[in-house]
Amino acid sequence: MKIGWIGLGNMGIPMATQLIDAAYQVAVYNRSKGKESELQKLGAATAETPQALLEKADIVILMVSDDQAIEQIFEGDKGLLSADAKGKIIINMSTVSPGISKQMHQKCKLNGIDYLDAPVSGSVKQAETGQLVIMVGGEEEVFEKAKPVLEKLGKLTLRVGEVGAGNQAKLAINSLLALYTQGLAETVLFANQNGVKTDDLLNLINSAAIGNIFTKIKGDAILAENYKPAFALKHIVKDLRLARDEGISSPLAKTVLKTFENAEAEYGEEDLIAVIKALK
């Protein structure tokens, strides 16, 4: 099976590498040139346009930043919808709106192309080790065809409904992610204000029932003052706005969106745990 990959950011490169390591024939396309070389060294081919990529692949996977990027890749000059690709599958693993997935699904359907939305939970480390959690929206038959490929990328691949459902699930998970992040940051600052050292507090949290992988990873980042973006703060702002647009309106959701929006101007390019600096 030939796989096309679009989007070579922090997540795209390690995910595409997983497929190369699994002995799939992989070709890549990236809107900004230069990032393909790392995968070319591993044996990947390249394509000049999304159209060309889809025409020589069985499945094309996208991992890009937002709805606007999706529109450009599908509908731009020599985009995916320009391809003669009846019977092929496009899997959109980007965190985007359910609406854009439904739109692209309908346009793909007119061209005889199958579409799945399959965003992931996990960051760069999980992408590098094939331990992502993948939530999929789309037709059962199409999902079963694509599942063996997706299982090379994640430890759990679960169909949660029709097209758009994967995006809805991801927005729900990322809303909780933002709540976790702000909660951890506020807890550390409160403890510090009252004389409790950060490393002692984190040791207690991670030894208690409330500890989890996230608090361990982000706690270590706080201790090291390491704000290199595994998941940039600006991206959680985008996801929280998408969740708001889909109807989340609880008190916590409103508060966390305001917090991260206020932090974005100064800390948007840093990891989302940099919100602790804004709260301080």
Instruction: Provide DSSP, 205-256.
Output: HHHSTT--HHHHHHHHHHHHT----SSBHHHHHHHHHHHHHTT---HHHHHH
As a whole number of angstroms, the distance between CA 158 and CA 48 comes to 33
- Kindly state the helix (H) or strand (E) to which residue 10 belongs, with its residue range: none
Terminal CA-to-CA distance of the chain, rounded, Å?
51
Active site residue 170: yes
3-state secondary structure of 82: helix
For 271, which DSSP code?
B
Contacts (Cβ under 8 Å, ≥6 apart) of 80? 50, 51, 53, 54, 60, 73, 74, 90, 113
Question: Are the C-beta atoms of 96 and 67 separated by less than 8 Å?
Answer: yes
Q: Is 151 exposed, middle or buried (0-12, 13-18, 19+ CB in 10 A)?
A: middle
As a whole number of angstroms, the distance between CA 84 and CA 113 comes to 9
Per annotation, catalytic residue among 56, 147, 170, 254: 170
Positions marked active-site: 170
